[in-house]
Chains A and B, each alone.
Chain A
């Protein structure tokens, strides 16, 4: 959006970092770095959240034990719908992960200073989402404890990864994404660990942050190396966003399944991934903004621009829906049309129409700036998009196998209790580490915010 249509009545409306131009640098440190040092004001709410997350994690552990003990027969999967819930949820979580890298790396290289308020939380979201995603292909295996067989390692079986199998692709996608994301967030946070070390009062916190800061003193040589390393990893991360999300669209192509072979899939999946990720970034940003009272750091204009991004990526995803459906009919192939009609009007048509409703119809409210700048409305739309994207994955992954080539093989799919328990449990797997991050890490990249503040104040340039 251009500066002209920004509402001039709220602070940060006319700055590239979206913060008030005269915001003191110390205020940033006080609001972010003081949190781990003086956590008392947030303690009760934090414990409530943490205990809730631990209960969810307990549900996850319990259902994972059931899956390991009784085998994948506890899932609703069968001979035809053999991906079912686990792969649906895998794709949903993995897609979510992509937005974090996009916000951090892409907007870093495009020099958008407003990203500085959002990149840390987006990157942490990425890592936890990738972990939640990565656990699914493992628990979906018949013998999950042998998951390392999909790694290339010297073994006595003369066995290497089977590149014709999606399992091998999952392994490389998740591991590659996780490693690059971890590197990116850690390198990006080193200067902040140093400030946290200098803010800490208790010795054990000083040592904890001091070790993480790797002896950072803020020397100009440190900054020169850091800048190079950070941008280098950002350059590694950006192709990964596209490679991994279009990669997992290709792994649908590996199956001889009608409805999984549209040529629009790679861009469709990239857009869908970033779309769902933006939605979760909005939910987390709004949550942290309220939890820590960060209205001054994550401003209304941040919400506004996130709303715009959600709307734009939503339309790109919608193009995927239309292109995929159009091509099915345009192909003239009877079975393509059968599968598409099952999506549009079959017993599971709710998944298609819910995706359209949440991801396209509701989304249009974001054309109005009042909606984008209203936290509650934005939250409702973002949660809707998360539900809509989940329904989209259902429509994509569950529906085609229920309409096999032979009509006699047509059947349905219903998830079991453990399918649901495992899925709900992964929110615990996401939230427990996230709570610990909230307690211990600077959740906003303070030095990057301060650098941007300094740069656009008319002071000396960087």
Chain B
């Protein structure tokens, strides 16, 4: 009777098994790497907007405070986007004929808000409150990066859950006085941890409570 398998069958069988298990391991490794890559986190990628608004120009060069436009940030869960009237407080006088600002004028004329595209989107099962963080002395820079150096807005950090937890497990070295929250270039010469610990007492930040599941997931 003829042999069922050729002599090389054993070798091929081992190769297939190796590729199968090696492939599974490679697939797993690829997922682990991809999860951290900017492809998945969108870190550093600009988002197309109806108007190419430059934070570098407005917040950096002109030194307009963040809260001039994001005026809910101290009291509300969301920082808020400005109504067109806020843009027009300057642009009714400046660059009134600029091609780039045509959608802003159209928005004012038609009473339709501009539809900005979201840059940072947290999952719906995360409860994040801007006001709580700002009042606890977390600087805008901690999550949003140096916005005053961004000609077009992008995500500066991956903003994964482990990023949230890094701070929630040890908030002290990342806190600053409330006055300095929106300062993009704030520096502190002394011991940042000692300052942070004093601020935690002052702002009633209780470290033990920050890592309960229900702090962010309700």
Contacts and interface: CB of A to CB of B under 8 A. Distances in A.
Interface string B31-52: 0100110000100000000000
B24 interface: no
A351 B74 CA distance: 57
B4 A207 contact: yes
Contacts of B13: 211, 214-215
Nearest to A154: B32
Interface in B1-57: 4-5, 9-10, 13, 28, 32, 35-36, 41
A375 interface: no
A407 interface: no
Contacts of B160: 156-157
A210 B9 CA distance: 11
Interface string B75-101: 000000000000000000000000000
B185 interface: no
A159 B161 contact: yes
A197 interface: yes
Nearest to B31: A153
B158 A197 contact: no
Given A197-B4, A215-B10, A156 B158 contact: yes
Interface size class of A (residues with CB under 8 A): 10 to 19
A462 interface: no
Contacts of A231: none
A408 interface: no
A201 to B, nearest CB: 12
A157 B162 CA distance: 5
Contact of A210 (B5, B32, B36, B158): B5
Contacts of B28: 153
B198 interface: no
Interface string A132-145: 00000000000000
Interface string A147-175: 00000011111110000000000000000
B165 interface: yes
A155 B36 CA distance: 9
A214 B32 CA distance: 33
Interface secondary structure of A, over-half rule: loop
A158 B10 contact: no
Given A197-B4, A207-B4, A156 B165 contact: no
Contacts of B165: 157-158
A218 to B, nearest CB: 15
Given A211-B13, A215-B10, A155 B35 contact: yes
A210 B160 CA distance: 49
B155 to A, nearest CB: 14
A206 interface: yes
A154 B33 CA distance: 10
B161 A157 contact: yes
Nearest to B162: A158
Contacts of B161: 156-159
B10 to A, nearest CB: 6
Nearest to B5: A210
Contacts of A153: 28, 32
A156 B162 contact: yes
A279 B19 CA distance: 42
B166 to A, nearest CB: 8
A352 B194 CA distance: 63
Nearest to A203: B4
A27 to B, nearest CB: 24
Contacts of A215: 5, 9-10, 13
A163 to B, nearest CB: 14
Contacts of A154: 32
A78 to B, nearest CB: 19
A210 B162 contact: no
Contact of B4 (A155, A210, A214): A210
B162 A206 contact: no
Interface in B95-113: none
Scoring B4, B5, B13, B28 by chain A CB atoms within 10 A of each residue's CB, the highest score goes to B4
Interface in A51-87: none
Nearest to B10: A215
Nearest to A197: B4
Nearest to B161: A157
A156 B36 contact: yes
Interface in A196-240: 197, 206-207, 210-211, 214-215
A303 to B, nearest CB: 39
A450 B36 CA distance: 57
Nearest to B159: A156
Interface in A82-132: none
Contacts of B10: 215
B110 to A, nearest CB: 39
Contacts of A156: 35-36, 41, 158, 160-162
A193 B132 CA distance: 66
B2 to A, nearest CB: 10
Nearest to B125: A143
13 contacts: A154-B32, A155-B162, A156-B41, A157-B160, A157-B161, A158-B162, A158-B165, A159-B161, A197-B4, A207-B5, A210-B5, A215-B5, A215-B13
9 closest residue pairs by CB, A with B: A157-B161, A156-B160, A158-B162, A158-B165, A210-B4, A206-B4, A156-B162, A154-B32, A156-B35
Given A153-B32, A155-B162, A156-B36, 18 more contacts: A153-B28, A154-B32, A156-B35, A156-B41, A156-B158, A156-B162, A157-B165, A158-B161, A197-B4, A206-B4, A207-B4, A207-B5, A210-B5, A211-B13, A214-B13, A215-B5, A215-B9, A215-B13
Interface of B: 4-5, 9-10, 13, 28, 32, 35-36, 41, 158, 160-162, 165
